[in-house]
Structure 1
Amino acid sequence: MSYHDLPSRCIAFAGMCQAAYLVDQLSRTGSTGDQTAFEASLHSIMRTESDSPLDVFGGYSSLSVGFNSMLEQLGNKDQKRNMQITKYLIGMIMLEKKLSKNPGTLNLLSERINQVQRQLAHFEINDNNVLSNLDAIYKELISPLGPRIQVNGNPTCLQQEQTQHKIRALLLAGVRATVLWRQLGGTRTQLILSRKAMIHQVNQDLRRI
């Protein structure tokens, strides 16, 4: 079955928006505010061989934060758009573009994710050991591809090591969602030309929750 369609791309883009939204929350408040969404985003990194785009994120309800953030980003009212989230999304798209052209890093990324999957036999996805590992993957493999994503927020929150680990883990999840979005035919041009269709689709998805 082919998933190169608008509904599938909207699911992947919602995954990107969810990761970006949670990064913004963490950087400003020190908390994600939604543990279910946080864990769903982290689990999506591990699901490299899922049957469908929706399975990557664990269902519609696991993406509710992403769907709502997506509506804010694509809506017509600029005053509701969080420009910090927009910057994170652009950064994810640029990093994915560099990643897709670097087969060596892609192979290393696959190996490192497999290590984390083995780690999950002993720890939960939100355990500090796992978060530290995901942080290292992003810091060592993704961020150096450049341009680096500059996270802005409350300095007190950003100085906390655990918050840093969570943010980098979420950025890794965002890049993973961007890889999926690209694989399904997603482009930056579509975000402009298909905006109304995407908003309609997301409203339908929210009704499924």
Structure 2
Amino acid sequence: MNQGPNLQDQAYALAGVAQFARYAHDTAQDGQDLPVRFERALHAIFCTDPDQALDVFENRHELADGIAYLKPQLAGQRPDDKSAQVARYIGQILKLAGRLRQDEQALGRIRGAIDRARLAESADVAEILDTAYRETISPMRPQIMLQGHPSYLKNEYLQRRIRTQLLAAIRAGVLWRQCGGGFVSLFLRRKALLAGLEGG
């Protein structure tokens, strides 16, 4: 996708970052690993050539959790503890996405992993994407350190699912940048971004 700034596309991309950051947080905190959430992450990761931002998430319904999280944040409502923690992750993810866009070697390794994951048995997909995350994203700064329950954070199966969600969040962060998003627009154009979410 290659187009000029579009606030609705930026809003959808930002909602995607929020959605997958929240999913990773929920898994780390409560061990939640709903199949539909994992499928949404895979769709976002595998949709590498969308015609519009919403294609990455399939449709508004599949992005509903991210939209529901983002609306009160953009409206200036005081966040609860969970929302504040997810907001911190979002900031880290957006910074990582910006750095990833400048690293052609890392991007190439992720693209190769995505190609392998598309052809792999379903049981192997999370491991392939997890390895790609650890080899390319983990060495970058800022490093995302999820807060959660030790029994979930140490569970290898859940670790792979969490990293897949974070990879999807970073994919949405790259989309945000591709749509012209930046920290200036995030802070100064909140009402316009909110209108983009409400106008879909």
Task: Report the Cα offset of residue 169 of structure 1.
Answer: 0.5
Cα distance in 2 for residues equivalent to 1:73 and 1:181: 17
2:128 match: 133
Task: Report the Cα offset of residue 102 of structure 1.
Answer: 1.4
Cα distance in 2 for residues equivalent to 1:166 and 1:73: 26
Task: Report the Cα offset of residue 4 of structure 1.
Answer: 2.7
Q: What percent of counterpart residues are identical? A: 31
Matched, 1:187 2:187: no
- Give SS of 2:199's match: helix
Matched, 1:115 2:110: no
**2:19 and 2:69 in contact (8 A); partners too:** yes
In structure 2, stretches of 5+ residues that fail to align are none
**2:19 and 2:63 in contact (8 A); partners too:** yes
Q: Which amino acid aligns with 2:107?
A: L
1:163 aligned to which of 158, 167, 176: 158
2:19 match: 18
Cα distance in 2 for residues equivalent to 1:147 and 1:196: 28
Q: Which amino acid aligns with 1:161?
A: E
Matched, 1:148 2:149: no
Alignment root-mean-square deviation, CA? 1.8
**1:18 and 1:37 in contact (8 A); partners too:** no
What TM-score, normalized by structure 2, do the two folds share?
A: 0.91
2:93 match: 92
Matched, 1:198 2:173: no
List structure 1 segments (4+ residues) > 3 angstroms apart after TM superposition. none
- Give SS of 2:168's match: helix
Task: Report the Cα offset of residue 3 of structure 1.
Answer: 5.9
Cα distance in 2 for residues equivalent to 1:173 and 1:144: 17
Task: Report the Cα offset of residue 191 of structure 1.
Answer: 1.3
Note closer, same or farther for the CA distance 1:58–1:2 as it changes in structure 2 (3 Å cut). Answer: same
1:45 match: 45
What TM-score, normalized by structure 1, do the two folds share?
A: 0.88
Q: Which amino acid aligns with 2:55?
A: D
- Give SS of 1:78's match: coil
Cα distance in 1 for residues equivalent to 2:76 and 2:106: 38
How far does the alpha carbon of each residue in 1:169-198 deviate from its partner, in whole angstroms, 9 at most, with x for none? 111111111111101100011111111122
**2:14 and 2:176 in contact (8 A); partners too:** yes
Cα distance in 2 for residues equivalent to 1:78 and 1:92: 21
Q: Which amino acid aligns with 1:51?
A: D
Cα distance in 2 for residues equivalent to 1:24 and 1:2: 32
Q: Which amino acid aligns with 2:47?
A: R
2:61 match: 61
